[in-house]
């Protein structure tokens, strides 16, 4: 079993540095900065897990959480819950680093860990009397109230109910997207920091080399076909699954389309800024981004375009 070098630094310097940063991030969760700092919460714990031994890791984490909870005052319970939420995925990702897993495995395990924590939070909240759907209903309606009056008057009651229902049905998609983003941020920053601290951790392949298995095209076509046969106003479990799976496939193929664009740029020896410029222009119209790049990704996956371009 491959592990990181047993000679890696395990002194108090790492514990002190990253323990203080973890405490600061926890304290920030009871301030408006939470909107930003929440996404980076697992990073100090990942670095502590890799760069310290087990005793020092748990001692530092415990001290950091107690300091954060102490400064939070009445919000101490919130700090403890969020600390636990960030800690489990950090351990999963840190353990993957210790075992020298590939970046793809790290991202997969990290995403699953974050999804598990979101589900655990929902289960605990439900056991305490929290009801998700009424909360979403209230949040959507409060968001609508913020809109200008001229915009609010154009929304009929039925349209608002449909928006609330759609938001409720897309909760699994939000959980998956947020979990993947948090795992990606934690890996992107954590790996670079650890490499600067003397580790040698694998990153993802260059984006131009990303390639989906061809079978994904068939899965996508099946999902689209089922989606066409599913009634529009249907809040059944099956309809909810399809409604959440379609955007995930679209996103995955959009990423594949971006990868193909970078492949073309490399093959044609374009400047590196050209693919980024095209992406930025298309991002101005999000729907166009998903439709255009998803289609490009499907074509790239289904047909051997890259092999033909290499021959020429």
pTM equals 0.82
Burial class (CB in 10 A: 0-12, 13-18, 19+), 224: middle
- What stretches of 29-131 show up as alpha helix (H) in DSSP? 34-37, 43-51, 54-72, 76-98, 103-127
H or E segment and range at residue 154: none
Which pLDDT score, from 0 to 100, does residue 58 have? 94
Q: How far apart are CA 26 and CA 39, in angstroms?
A: 11
Check whether 183 has a pLDDT greater than 90.
yes
CA distance 230 to 289: 25
Can you tell me the distance from the alpha carbon of 98 to that of 95, in angstroms, rounded to the nearest whole number?
5
Under the banding of pLDDT at 50, 70 and 90, the label for residue 112 is very high
The DSSP secondary-structure symbol of 200 reads: -
pLDDT at 214 over 80: yes
**CA–CA dist 106, 297 (Å, integer):** 24
Band of the pLDDT at 116, cuts 50, 70, 90? Answer: very high
Q: Are the C-beta atoms of 22 and 84 separated by less than 8 Å?
A: no
- Structure tokens belonging to residue 1: 């079993």
pLDDT tens-digit map of 253-277? 888 888 888 888 887 777 666 666 6
Comparing 72-76, 121-125, 239-243, 279-283, which segment has the lowest mean pLDDT? 279-283
């Amino acid at each position: 079993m491959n592990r990181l070098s047993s000679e890696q630094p395990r002194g108090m310097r790492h514990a002190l540095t990253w323990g203080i940063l973890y405490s600061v991030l926890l304290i920030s969760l009871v301030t408006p900065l939470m909107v930003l700092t929440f996404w980076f919460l697992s990073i100090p714990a990942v670095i502590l897990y890799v760069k310290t031994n087990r005793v020092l890791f748990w001692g530092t984490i415990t001290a950091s959480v107690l300091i954060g909870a102490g400064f939070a005052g009445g919000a101490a319970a919130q700090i403890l819950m969020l600390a636990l939420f960030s800690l489990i995925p950090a351990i999963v990702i840190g353990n993957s680093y210790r075992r020298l897993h590939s970046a793809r495995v790290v991202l997969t395990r990290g995403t699953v860990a974050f999804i598990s924590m979101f589900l655990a939070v929902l289960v605990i909240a439900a056991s305490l009397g929290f009801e998700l759907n009424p909360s979403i209903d209230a949040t959507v309606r409060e968001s609508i109230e913020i809109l200008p009056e001229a915009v609010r008057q154009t929304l009929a009651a039925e349209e608002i109910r449909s928006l609330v229902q759609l938001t409720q049905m897309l909760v699994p998609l939000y959980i998956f997207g947020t979990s993947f983003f948090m795992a990606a941020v934690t890996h992107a920053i954590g790996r670079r920091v650890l490499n600067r601290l003397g580790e040698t951790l694998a990153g993802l392949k260059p984006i131009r080399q990303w390639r989906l298995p061809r079978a994904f095209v068939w899965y996508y076509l099946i999902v689209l076909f089922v989606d066409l046969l599913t009634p529009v106003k249907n809040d059944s479990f099956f309809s909810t699954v399809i409604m959440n799976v379609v955007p995930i496939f679209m996103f995955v193929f959009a990423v594949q389309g971006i990868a193909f664009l970078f492949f073309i740029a490399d093959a044609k020896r374009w400047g590196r800024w050209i693919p980024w410029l095209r992406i930025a222009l298309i991002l101005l119209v999000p729907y166009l981004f998903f439709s255009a790049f998803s289609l490009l990704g499907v074509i790239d996956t289904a047909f051997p375009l890259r092999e033909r371009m290499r021959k020429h």
